């Protein structure tokens, strides 16, 4: 089965999600077309970025999960994820992308990035409690106050969104 057939078959399956995500977080949207839409007939309608890719944070005793619910015919690039933690607004960011466990994506040949791994329907990144912890200036082990999350995705119809950055508060 070729990649296009596999992605079409995958896109027909419903997303499997343990918990329903919270509502989308508002943000302004800018778009960049990957293909000339006049060659595709009529101009397709595209979703606002926070409807195409809904990010939710799920906390558990073992750590956290970042869950992106992805609209049909949209996908996220695995290589564009960046996850960092921060103790407070003045502290340096701690990289967590390399320790996060990501689910298996689908291989795709992209017009700009070549051979890549992408996620349709849902992307999941798990970070254990131990990986979240860091030391403050006085040497105490603390949980970070914020996560800085970056991601980028596209629509199959040819629209690519710019890299999105979200800051998620971990402490209630």
For 3-11+51-169, the fitting CATH number among 2.60.40.1250, 2.30.29.30, 3.40.50.300, 3.30.930.10 is 2.60.40.1250
Confidence at 63, pLDDT banded by 50, 70, 90: very high
**Per-residue confidence (pLDDT) for residue 58, from 0 to 100:** 96
Decide: helix, strand or coil at residue 132: helix
Average pLDDT (126-145) is: 86
pLDDT for 66 equals 97
On the question of pLDDT at 106 being above 80, the answer is: yes
Domain assignments of the chain as residue spans, ordered by start? 3-11+51-169
CB count, 10 Å around CB of 126? 18
Asked whether 86 and 93 are in contact (CB, 8 A), the reply is: yes
């Amino acid at each position: 089965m070729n990649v296009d057939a596999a992605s079409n078959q995958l896109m027909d399956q419903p997303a499997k999600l343990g918990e329903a995500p919270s509502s989308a977080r508002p943000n302004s949207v800018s778009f960049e077309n990957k293909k000339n839409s006049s060659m595709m007939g009529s101009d397709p309608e595209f979703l606002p970025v926070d409807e195409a890719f809904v990010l939710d944070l799920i906390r558990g005793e073992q750590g956290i999960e970042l869950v992106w619910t992805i609209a049909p015919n949209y996908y996220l690039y695995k290589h564009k994820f960046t996850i960092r933690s921060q103790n407070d607004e003045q502290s340096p960011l701690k990289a967590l992308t390399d320790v996060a466990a990501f689910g298996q994506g689908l291989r795709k040949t992209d017009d700009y990035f070549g051979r890549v791994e992408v996620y349709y329907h849902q992307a999941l990144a798990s970070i254990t409690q131990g990986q979240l912890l860091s030391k403050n200036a006085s040497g105490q082990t603390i949980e970070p106050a914020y996560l800085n999350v970056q991601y980028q995705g596209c629509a199959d119809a040819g629209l690519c969104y710019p890299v999105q950055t979200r800051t998620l508060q971990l402490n209630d």
